Amino acid sequence: MNADIVLRNVRLPSGREADIAISDGVVRHVGAPVHADETIDCSGYTCLPGAVDMHVHMRGGVQAGKEGWRTGTASAVAGGVTVVVDQPNTVPPITTPEILAARIREAESEALCGFAVNAGVVAGADLAGMWSAGAMAFGETFAAPSSYGEGLDPETLRELFCRIQALGGLATVHAEEVSGTAPRTLADHDSARSGAGEARAVQAVQALAPAGMRLHFCHLSTAASVRAARGTVEATPHHLFLSHEMFDEDETHARVNPPLRDERTRRDLWSCWDMIDVVASDHAPHTLQEKALPFDTAPSGIPGVETMVPLLMAAVHRGEITLSSVIEKTSWRPAEILGIPRAGFEPGDRADFALYPDEVVRIDPSALHSKCGWSPFEGFGAIFPEVVIIRGTQAYAHGEYGEACPIWYPGKGFSSLNNK
């Protein structure tokens, strides 16, 4: 057989070496060498399926000063992420098929990697219209207020859940309780949006959902919340690797919703590693000027799409987690939850890969690609990919970008007949 591209001497996660032959964006053969128009020698690298980050905020539009599709997806690709799922709390929020279609067109013209777009869940939103127009999922659905998202009252949430279930959709949920006045420190923020309140919110959301509904809980930050959840569970690198005790008490760059917890709670979250379905970044950049505001008025949110997999790969290097668990939680499980083709090492799999060296480096925010220009993970050990392949195309190699691959992945409700 002939192939468009062959990855030679690939060190698979199983430890064996093989060649991967790719044609038309799909893996065709894994094993002995075949002829190809292009070859990449993967000796000395660990080859991972491209990551699917199912929780990003790509900003754009009136928020282009924070981030846009081009810079946000450049950051994703440089971190080994080949598919991103954008959240609907944009400005304006995605609540109609027309706004959804405009967001998709914006991504198609600017993105460097695969993408999907979720539908907003608010009273009056055209859920059925957005489902037919290709929304991947519903939410981030706010059971508590957060940046650019208003919390929904229980009865509204119950009614919207029933509509989503009738469509056969997945509801992704931001579950928190919020109390007290505007916090002035990271510890205040932790108290105002407490871990115990998050676990109660998870239980309350589940009580509102009709039986059999597909629920996905975003960015759970405590072991108690993970254990309370029914449905699929997402955790973020910032809740796994950062505690508020690592920062000055009024450090706005560490302000995020849900808040960073204390060190004991952070370590306890790792005890639930095997119960966590997905690691997603909740990439939510703000400008340095916005983060320079006083703590009680500074916006919550941090960038993280580029550092997500590299942080986890460094943890693999230290022997703290397994490579197979990273692949499962960053690539295979999110693809399964979303219903998109899996990237992998079997014929028919989507040909998205990232090649990682064995070298651990220190994160330098000036070397990252997000427009916001900062990272709370500065100085942390990480292993960044040197080559990234999307649908068989070399999209990134040794710091240089190749051909853009803005592939749209519509949700299961997409009807091409209704969207001509």
Numbered residues of the known binding site: 55, 57-59, 89, 140, 174, 219, 282, 286
Enumerate residues 6+ apart whose C-beta is below 8 A from 107. Answer: 58, 69, 86, 115, 117, 406, 408
Query: Closest Cα to residue 47, out of 342, 280, 357?
Result: 357
Query: Closest Cα to residue 339, out of 84, 167, 136?
Result: 136
Contact 152, 170 (CB under 8 A): no
**Which residues belong to the annotated binding site for substrate?**
57-59, 89, 286
Dist. CA 281–CA 398, nearest whole Å = 23
54 phi and psi angles, rounded to 5 deg: -85, 20
Measured on CA atoms in the order 412, 414, 417, 420, is the torsion positive or negative?
Answer: negative
From residue 65, give the alpha-carbon distance in Å to each of 59, 127, 305, 370: 9, 29, 17, 11
99 phi and psi angles, rounded to 5 deg: -70, -40
- Catalytic machinery residues: 282
Please, which residues bridge with residue 81 across strands?
A: 51
Report which residue type is found at 44.
G
**Which residues belong to the annotated binding site for Zn(2+)?**
55, 57, 140, 174, 219, 282
SS (H, E, C) 297-357: CCCCCCCCCCCHHHHHHHHHHCCCCCHHHHHHHHHHHHHHHHCCCCECCCCCCECCEEEEC
Residue 252: helix, strand or coil by DSSP? helix
